[in-house]
């Protein structure tokens, strides 16, 4: 599971950088798109201990590529390890985000479409929908992995930048391609860098390199059982720290606020972005610039 972090660290030491990151959020998407031609590698990990279950570590390795100014595509590879059980690959996701409006407005919509091919043992918690609960996380992996989850997930992402603050709201609708009702969820977040002006010198610990945020996410039931009753919700302060090299570290303790939520989650991640990877590969293999 930690191999992904090591891989990103190794890449960071060899490849020229761009500044990674969509801010400090783990679940909430902003309307920021990946720059065209840039490839970002990220590891998003979460650990927790559900009631009646063992401590787990869910990990998603993310590859995000900017296809066009208004189109970003990503592939996730998910895995998990549960103490006293097995470590397993739990599936993949392919997502696409499309920016709808060409200019910045006070609120900016982005459409998100994802295909997930994961199994019931997936514990990456990249979103919470329907009546997802801590009891799902406590199910034994060998049993849970038998459940196939081939799903289409859509999101309406709304984002705003206001006087240095980033504000984002996500509305999630998910549908298993084979059966089951539409499932709904949400995520909202606010964040701000500790300083709005850059310093002239490169610095590791200057305030502009840190972003603080808060996100809240949870399930909203299904189309025939919509609402907050029996759903899991989390509140999570977040912190992101970007090194002058461009590598970004994020950490977020999350607190379950309803009885069916996992009481405490810790998320952590690292990301690194390679600018104009196509041109760099072409140059590397002897092409002309």
Partner 1 sequence: MKRFMLFALLSLGGVFAQSPLQQAPESWRAKSNPFAGDAQAQRAGAKLYARECSECHGQNGQGIGKAPPLQRADVSHAPPGALFWVLDNGVLWHGMPSFAHLPAPERWQIVTFVQTSMGRKKPD
Q: Could you list the residues that contact partner 1 (CB under 8 A)?
A: 18-19, 22-23, 30, 32-38, 66, 68-70, 99, 102-104, 161, 163-164, 166, 193, 196-202, 208, 246, 275-276, 279, 289
CB of 187 to partner 1, least distance (A): 18
Q: How far is the CB of 63 from partner 1 (least distance, A)?
A: 18
b/e for 72-92, b at 16 or more Cβ within 10 A?
bbbebbbbbbbeebeebebbe
Between 72 and 124, whose beta carbon lies closer to partner 1? 72
Question: Shortest Cβ distance from residue 268 to partner 1 (Å)?
Answer: 22
- Least distance between partner 1 and beta carbon 66 (Å): 7
**Smaller CB separation from partner 1, 242 or 252:** 242
- Measured from the CB atom, is 82 or 209 closer to partner 1? 209
Smallest distance from partner 1 to CB 104, Å? 5
Choice between 179 and 288, CB closer to partner 1:
288
Between 135 and 210, whose beta carbon lies closer to partner 1? 210
Decide: residue 287, CB within 10 A, 0-12 exposed, 13-18 middle, 19+ buried.
exposed
C-beta of 36 vs 263, nearer to partner 1: 36
**Rounded distance, CA 205 to CA 201, Å?**
11
Pairing of strands 210-222, 183-193: antiparallel
Q: Nearer to partner 1 by C-beta: 37 or 230? A: 37
């Amino acid at each position: 599971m930690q191999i992904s972090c090591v891989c990103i660290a190794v890449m960071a030491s060899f490849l020229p950088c761009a500044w990674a990151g969509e801010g400090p959020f783990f679940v909430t998407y902003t309307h920021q798109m990946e720059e065209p031609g840039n490839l970002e590698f990220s590891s998003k990990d979460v650990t927790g201990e559900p009631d009646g279950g063992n401590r787990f570590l869910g990990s998603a390795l993310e590859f995000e590529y900017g296809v066009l100014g208004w189109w970003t595509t990503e592939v996730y590879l998910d895995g998990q390890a549960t103490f006293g059980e097995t470590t397993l690959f739990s599936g993949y996701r392919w997502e696409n985000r499309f920016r709808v409006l060409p200019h910045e407005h006070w609120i900016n919509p982005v459409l998100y479409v994802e295909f997930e091919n994961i199994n019931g043992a997936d514990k990456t918690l990249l979103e919470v929908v329907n009546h997802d609960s801590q009891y799902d996380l406590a199910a034994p992996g060998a049993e849970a992995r038998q459940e196939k989850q081939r799903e289409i997930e859509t999101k309406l992402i709304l984002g705003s930048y206001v006087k240095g603050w980033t504000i984002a709201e996500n509305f999630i609708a998910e549908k298993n391609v084979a059966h089951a009702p539409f499932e709904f969820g949400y995520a909202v977040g606010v964040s701000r860098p500790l300083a709005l002006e850059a310093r002239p010198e490169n610095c590791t610990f200057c305030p502009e390199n840190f972003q603080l945020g808060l996100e809240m996410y949870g399930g909203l039931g299904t189309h025939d059982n919509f609402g907050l009753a029996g759903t899991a919700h989390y509140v999570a302060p977040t912190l992101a720290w970007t090194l002058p090299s461009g590598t970004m570290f994020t950490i977020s303790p999350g607190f379950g606020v309803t009885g069916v939520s996992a009481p405490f989650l810790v998320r952590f991640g690292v990301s690194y972005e390679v600018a104009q990877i196509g041109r760099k590969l072409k140059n590397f293999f002897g092409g002309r610039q």
